Amino acid sequence: HSIPASPDFAKWNGYGDFGFKADRLLFVDGSADPWKDLCYHSDLAPQRAWDAQPAHLINGAGHVWDLRTLDDVDAEPQFVRAATKLEIRTVGAWLKEFSSSKFAS
């Protein structure tokens, strides 16, 4: 194994680059995430969001702040808790939609 001199962008961009689309996929990023400019909310990416692929930028949050749990939930910043609640509501609606669909039987 060796580390290449430069990354193979063509390989990774083959998955969709900034144009990646999928229904029922919620993109959540933090505005202070050092990876933000390589993600959905990059200033370099085209603006895109629709009902089946919503997006949320957590102002002031870093990398995966919405995925971390604290021993003391009350210590969680309110803006992170709001994002987590959005994620729960969004996925819950998708599950409800699925359970009433023909695929749920």
Q: What is the pLDDT of residue 82?
A: 92
Instruction: Give the chain's end-to-end CA distance (angstroms, integer).
Output: 47
- Residues 22-76 have pLDDT tens digits of 889 899 999 999 999 888 899 888 877 777 888 899 999 999 998 887 777 778 8
Please work out, in degrees rounded to the nearest 5, the angle formed at the alpha carbon of residue 27 by the alpha carbons of 9 and 22.
Answer: 75
Surface-to-core class of residue 28, CB atoms within 10 Å of its CB (0-12 exposed, 13-18 middle, 19+ buried):
buried
CA 99 to mean position of chain CA atoms: 23
In angstroms, how far apart are the furthest CA atoms of the chain?
A: 51
Position 30: which residue type? G
Question: pTM score, two decimals?
Answer: 0.75
Element at 7 (helix H, strand E): none
Task: List Cβ<8 Å contacts ≥24 apart for 44-51.
Answer: 44/18, 45/18, 46/18, 46/19, 48/21
